[in-house]
Structure 1
């Protein structure tokens, strides 16, 4: 025979629920939360009561109803925005867990100065189109490193191969191949100044690419466990700065190895140029 629930337990449960509701109401009012909903409920209850008692006419009831509905709609929109914000935050957390990061945290249009990175380097490699500004800015530190016995390898385009015409087709700041021919010539003049700083004839090596690289590279002690690589992605027909990013041998093993290998590929694809005499040599590299 089924037993009836204990009325004392049921009344206690109801009392607990009411007490909890009152506590939540008081907390919301003290903290200013959900005030729009409480006002809407109050207006709705008072208007309904007055309507039942015949104190207000139908037009006031209709207006009050629309006002309450408007408040409810606004509250619903606010809730939806909050849910969207939570969803966005969760997506960011999920992306960070899978290795995805915001582009602003990875790419930079203003890379840090390289003097500090290469101040103690023993092996430096640079790839670029003309490298005029890069070599000019790095001239003092490259001179110091060469005098200290470091090896410096530089790769830029070969203007005798037609690469300068290819560079013009991709550029917005040049309209003739002579623009790149002059800039490469200026870079070679600067490197010629450095040639006497090396501890040996092979300390400074220059090679010329028969094509335009799609990205620039700066490798610092690339074979070392703490090696660094900075990559600059070259753009097409824009004056905006090139986005760059950095790689570390002890952190980005796979990508680090990829770009390190890319340098060696370009190095082997280029022909050697003697920095001291300005002449061309056949040894090393291929066209």
Structure 2
């Protein structure tokens, strides 16, 4: 029903903005003639000129395809439940890139990620929040009230460390939350998808957040923009220093060694 509603809204937007009017006119006239034919109000001779005109239009539009129409807001702005199961995305993912304060909704399916992406030769890069008191306090203000941030991040860090043994996997930690999450599937391919989840302010639940779904073919400019935002997040984040103990689930900071000089350390992405 939602898909039909979006399709009808798209048709109305096309008509209001003068897009594809000839196709809609031919369709409307053809529908009227079809109904009249069923009622025996027109015969085959009356339908011949319309048939020739419709075929001519079809050949013309096939030879000169129009530029893709910009997607309507209803097509790119979604709720979380509109995105479907994560497994469906992982099944077609050769390249997965994720930033989330905890990324717990993706890492809860770590077994699917390992089996459907990494063991098939794919790559995955994750960035999550640094489990410091300052970072946790800042992110807690932005995120919904139902999220136990420190325990969720603690669980995600454990999953990331277990996945780090697989070739093609890498992860880093960001010392602040930029106010959005990113999930990118096959980012460099023509059929890639970028999902941007905007963090509100004191949301009641995660399902109330706005999700922006972009495809390269329909919005190449903003698709590339958000690809670059992930790379900026990746460059700003740091690999986990060696020898760092597990953080406690209550958010208490673990003892840490001195950070690398100038914030530069070895990367953990194995290609």
Scaled by the length of structure 1, the TM-score of the pair is 0.57
Task: Give the whole-Å Cα distance in 2 for the aligned partners of 1:221 and 1:131.
Answer: 18
Do the aligned partners of 1:159 and 1:180 also contact (CA within 8 Å) in 2? Answer: no
Q: The residue matched to 1:272 in structure 2 has which SS?
A: coil
- Does residue 1:170 correspond to 2:137, yes or no? no
- 1:85-124 equivalences in 2 (<5 Å): 93-94=15-16, 97=19, 99=70, 101=72, 103-109=73-79, 110=81, 111-124=83-96
Superposition deviation, residue 142 in structure 1: 0.7
Superposition deviation, residue 255 in structure 1: 0.8
Task: Give the whole-Å Cα distance in 2 for the aligned partners of 1:112 and 1:276.
Answer: 39
2:114 maps to 143
Task: Give the whole-Å Cα distance in 2 for the aligned partners of 1:247 and 1:276.
Answer: 39
Do the aligned partners of 2:76 and 2:214 also contact (CA within 8 Å) in 1? Answer: no
- Does residue 1:209 correspond to 2:174, yes or no? yes
2:132 maps to 160
Task: Give the whole-Å Cα distance in 2 for the aligned partners of 1:121 and 1:100.
Answer: 23
- Does residue 1:127 correspond to 2:99, yes or no? yes
2:204 maps to 239
Given candidates 261, 266, 270, the residue that maps to 1:283 is 266
Superposition deviation, residue 195 in structure 1: 2.8
Do the aligned partners of 1:128 and 1:213 also contact (CA within 8 Å) in 2? Answer: no
Superposition deviation, residue 184 in structure 1: 1.1
Question: When you count helix as a share of all residues, which structure comes out higher?
Answer: 1
Do the aligned partners of 1:125 and 1:153 also contact (CA within 8 Å) in 2? Answer: yes
The structure whose Rg is larger is 1
- 1:1-287 equivalences in 2 (<5 Å): 93-94=15-16, 97=19, 99=70, 101=72, 103-109=73-79, 110=81, 111-136=83-108, 138-144=109-115, 145-160=117-132, 162-173=134-145, 179-196=148-165, 198=166, 200=167, 203-240=168-205, 241=207, 242-273=209-240, 282-284=265-267
Question: Could you give the per-residue CA deviations for residues 65-94 of structure 1, whole angstroms, max 9, x where no partner exists?
Answer: xxxxxxxxxxxxxxxxxxxxxxxx977733
Do the aligned partners of 2:78 and 2:213 also contact (CA within 8 Å) in 1? Answer: no
Task: Give the whole-Å Cα distance in 1 for the aligned partners of 2:233 and 2:98.
Answer: 11
Task: Give the whole-Å Cα distance in 1 for the aligned partners of 2:162 and 2:18.
Answer: 47
Q: Unmatched 5+ residue regions in structure 1? A: 1-88
Task: Give the whole-Å Cα distance in 1 for the aligned partners of 2:239 and 2:228.
Answer: 19
Q: The residue matched to 2:196 in structure 1 has which SS?
A: strand
Superposition deviation, residue 259 in structure 1: 0.3
Do the aligned partners of 1:151 and 1:204 also contact (CA within 8 Å) in 2? Answer: yes
Q: CA RMSD in A?
A: 3.1
Task: Give the whole-Å Cα distance in 1 for the aligned partners of 2:93 and 2:204.
Answer: 32
Scaled by the length of structure 2, the TM-score of the pair is 0.60
Q: Unmatched 5+ residue regions in structure 2? A: 1-10, 20-68, 247-256
Do the aligned partners of 2:142 and 2:179 also contact (CA within 8 Å) in 1? Answer: no
Q: 1:253 to 1:90 in 2, by over 3 A?
A: closer
User: Paired residues, what number?
Assistant: 188
Q: The residue matched to 1:264 in structure 2 has which SS?
A: helix
Superposition deviation, residue 209 in structure 1: 0.9
Q: 1:174 to 1:117 in 2, by over 3 A?
A: closer
Question: Could you give the per-residue CA deviations for residues 210-252 of structure 1, whole angstroms, max 9, x where no partner exists?
Answer: 1112211111111112221111111111214222132112222
